[in-house]
Every structure is written in C-alpha cells, then in structure tokens.
Amino acid sequence: MNKHPAMTSDYLSMLMILALALLVAAGHSECHPFVESQIPGHLGRNEEKLTHLHFYDLLVGPNKTSVKVAPANPGSPLAFGIVTVTDEILTNGPDIYSNVIGRGQGTYAFASMGELVLAATVNYVFLVGEYNGSYISVVGRDPADEKKRELAIVGGGGLFRLARGYVELTTYSIDLETGNSIIDGNFYVYQY
C-alpha cells in the first residue's frame, strides 16, 4: 500500500471542515428550535367535557341566504355538481320569531350522482352570551332527503378550540317550492 501524503492531508482537512459545518448547524438548530413540547395545561383548560347543544338552523324568510355559486352541468343527475354558499340563521326555536343565537356559514356541494347527497363544510358561529365569537367546525356527508343525518365535528375556535364530536341533523320542515327549510340540530361536542 502506497500512502499518498497530499491526498491524506486533503482528506483530513475535508473531514474537519465537515465536522465544523455539522457543529455550526447543530448550534443553529439549538438557537432556532421550531418544535417545542408543552403540557396540555398550557392551553388553560385541562378537563375535556361533553357538551350538548340544541338549536335550529333556518333557511327561511326575507333574508334567506343561500347562493348558488356553481351550477350543475347540463344533464347531470340529481343536481350533481351544484355548489351553494350559505349564511344560515341559528335560533333557539323552530321559527323566525325565535332568538337568533348565531349563523351557520359554509358550503354545500351536491356530491353524488346516484343519490341526493351533500358534502357539507360549515362553521357554526355563536353570537350571544359567553359563546359569542366561538364556533364549531363541521364536515360531513349529508344525505339531504334522509330524516336523520350525522356529520362530524372536526374542530372549532374560541371556547371550542380542539373540539371534536358529532352532529345529528333532522329536517324539521321543508318547503320544496321555495327551498325554505328548518333543520333541527343536536351537537355533541367534546371540548375543554
């Protein structure tokens, strides 16, 4: 074996530079960590509790807000492809004279070619009392012509931060001519 002195010292200095670079990199990542463990109590609430909310979702009256933003393609079965955006009125009773407690803001897409099924994405924001400004985020499958539908609560904001659970929606009344409808909603929410 024939050692090449120049090659060996080049190799050594290269190793040293590499080691130095690694040290500097390690130092940098210590200075600027981007991940940090925290104890759950940091969020201020420790105990997860189950809350039941019951209210109505109104798409009726002069201020009915439901805008079709995308039509179905001609010939599509069962309105497949329609997308609507809604700003529904949430009330504590099943008519427009009930107290307004919030809004249901979201989109509904007619997402089935074989059934009347909506893909729903809705934020239920509350506008009164201690829940004012807090909201529950719901995503789910809504077979609109079935009596009872179940959608997932996937999160929320404010007092509903980190929420999870499910919603049962039942049609309270519907006027197929005008599209006016009242939905009865039972929300079961695990929240902190």
Ligand X SMILES: *[C@@H]1O[C@H](CO)[C@@H](O)[C@H](O)[C@H]1NC(C)=O
Instruction: Please give the residues from 4 up to 63 whose contact with ligand X meets the rule CB under 6 A.
Output: 61-63
Q: Between residues 61 and 77, which has the closer beta carbon with respect to ligand X?
A: 61
Rg of the chain (C-alpha set): 28
Decide: 161 and 190 in contact? Cβ < 8 Å.
no
Q: For ligand X, which residue of 96, 109, 144, 154 counts as binding (CB under 6 A)? A: 96
In angstroms, how far is the first alpha carbon of the chain from the final one? Answer: 71
CB of 61 to ligand X, least distance (A): 5
Neighbours of 149 (CB within 10 A): 20
CA 81 – CA 78 distance, rounded (Å): 9
Residue with tokens 């109104």: 58
Q: Residue 76 or 178: which CB sits closer to ligand X? A: 178
Instruction: Give the closest residue to 160 by CA, choosing from 130, 184, 118, 186.
Output: 130
Binders of ligand X: how many residues, by CB under 6 A?
8
Q: Minimum Å distance from CB 191 to ligand X?
A: 19
Q: Is residue 93 part of the contact set for ligand X (CB under 6 A)?
A: no
For position 133 contacting ligand X by CB under 6 A, the verdict is yes
Among 27, 79, 128, 148, interactor with ligand X by CB under 6 A: 128
Residues of this chain that interact with ligand X (CB under 6 A) are 61-63, 96, 127-128, 132-133
